[in-house]
Chain A
């Protein structure tokens, strides 16, 4: 269920990234809704579900960019796997882990994206400039937004879980 649900929500997030979020640009960075949704899902769900969200979210993102299809997916897949490997499920929804994931995850995601753009897209963005003008402001926005976003996603996540029959 959550797999099918991911398609419209991530498509809408990608469109909002390209339109509304672009108005909030600080330097070259803006809040990245697709990244936030995928990371929140990784913090709440199991690895398999989060990987699907990462792949779908990346594809939606790349459909609205010059990057080859899958470039963003690759970065998001690495972030999701790192979250799953480094943090125990009970620690993930604390007040500390989500901001740490937002900071480190944004950097990891952007480094992978820069690498893919260079290798497959033949777009050689200067790494230093890219990290300073794009990654840093995006990281700040993502860190500020991850906790409220996680609360919203937790409600949606609980709503999508199959109801267990009550034992009277």
Chain B
């Protein structure tokens, strides 16, 4: 091919691809992406399921001895937690009675509606910590719905088609969650790291941060329901600016081995921008 022709072909391809990116970013290609995603999601589900079965079997075989010891440790831990559970149930019943007396209404864990989904793949770019699930709009899943496992928060739905969805995990560097330390009630913000860790920032300098303390969502900003487990504090240090503390947090969820997740489909965030509009109107 002549040099002029080559540059022309290259330039035309760049223009077409840039237009494609622009329209996709604007959401104009949503219906096309929906249609094409259906067969891809189906094939991905089949291959993903087979891959996870094989990978799980290999893990089980290689970890057999470790699992025996772990089983023993867990049996001991279970005995301790059963006593704690009985105590907490009593407190829970007291809470329910008092909440009823005060007419205190909120979306508790028992009110949540879940859709259970299989994880069928991970984001292909590598730069984004995201998973694909086999539940979509037709299963009642909506954009920004929280996604959890029995061990805690996984992330939020960021891309949706009829039969599937993409979930941005809390470990993604662009993820930021308002959270609270369970025992000291100190607030902060949990952000993801590309290395897979979580860091809780913006904790007050004088706040008491206990290693091993549980980190839960605090419901501020109405982006997530309150009291979803995010992880445990591993260590704490003063931030470089020395204006606040930062804690390394380890999620209880193994993000590399997610097979089944649950989407909370009845969480309806309050649109806080309404209050901002009212304030602006009052100030006028």
A residues near B, CB below 8 A? 11-12, 14-20, 22-23, 25, 27-30, 32, 34, 46-48, 51, 54-55, 58-74, 77, 81, 84-85, 110, 113-114, 116-117, 120-121, 123-126, 129-130, 133-134, 138
| A116/B21 in contact, CB under 8 A | yes
For the complex, give the distance between the alpha carbons of A120 and B173 in Å. 17
For the complex, give the distance between the alpha carbons of A38 and B267 in Å. 43
CB distance from A41 to the nearest CB of B (A): 14
What are 17 A-B pairs at a CB distance below 8 A?
A: A15-B121, A18-B44, A29-B126, A34-B124, A47-B9, A55-B13, A60-B40, A62-B124, A63-B33, A65-B130, A65-B166, A66-B123, A67-B125, A69-B29, A74-B14, A114-B127, A133-B194
Report chain A residues within 8 Å CB of B219: none
- CB-based A-B contact count at 8 angstroms: 160
Report chain A residues within 8 Å CB of B235: none
| A63/B174 in contact, CB under 8 A | no
Report chain B residues within 8 Å CB of A28: 126-127, 129, 194-196
B159 near A: Cβ within 8 Å?
A: yes
Given A27-B195, A120-B22, A129-B193, also A15-B126 (CB < 8 A): no
- Which of B47-55, B75-83, B225-233, B237-245 lies on the face that meets chain A? B47-55
Report chain A residues within 8 Å CB of B20: 59, 69-70, 73
| B14/A25 in contact, CB under 8 A | no
Question: Which single residue of chain A is at the shortest CB-CB distance from B174?
Answer: A123
B10 near A: Cβ within 8 Å?
A: yes
Question: Which single residue of chain B is at the shortest CB-CB distance from A34?
Answer: B124
| A69/B158 in contact, CB under 8 A | no
For the complex, give the distance between the alpha carbons of A54 and B14 in Å. 11
For the complex, give the distance between the alpha carbons of A142 and B125 in Å. 14
Report chain A residues within 8 Å CB of B129: 28
For the complex, give the distance between the alpha carbons of A77 and B18 in Å. 11
**How many chain-B residues does the 8 Å CB contact rule pick out?**
48
Secondary structure call for the A interface = helix
Question: 1/0 contact trace for B1-27 toward A, CB 8 Å?
Answer: 100001001100110111011101100
Report chain A residues within 8 Å CB of B86: none
CB distance from A92 to the nearest CB of B (A): 15
Selected contact of A68 from candidates B24, B43, B122, CB within 8 Å: B24
| A134/B121 in contact, CB under 8 A | no
For the complex, give the distance between the alpha carbons of A30 and B159 in Å. 23
CB distance from A116 to the nearest CB of B (A): 6
CB distance from B258 to the nearest CB of A (A): 11
For the complex, give the distance between the alpha carbons of A51 and B12 in Å. 10
For the complex, give the distance between the alpha carbons of A133 and B36 in Å. 31
For the complex, give the distance between the alpha carbons of A28 and B125 in Å. 10
Question: Which single residue of chain B is at the shortest CB-CB distance from A18?
Answer: B121
B143 near A: Cβ within 8 Å?
A: no
Selected contact of A129 from candidates B9, B24, B130, B173, CB within 8 Å: B173
B10, B36, B126, B129: residue with the most chain A Cβ atoms closer than 10 Å? B126
Question: 1/0 contact trace for B53-84 toward A, CB 8 Å?
Answer: 00100000000000000000000000000000
The residues in B between 242 and 261 inclusive whose CB is less than 8 angstroms from any CB of A are 256
Report chain B residues within 8 Å CB of A11: 40, 43
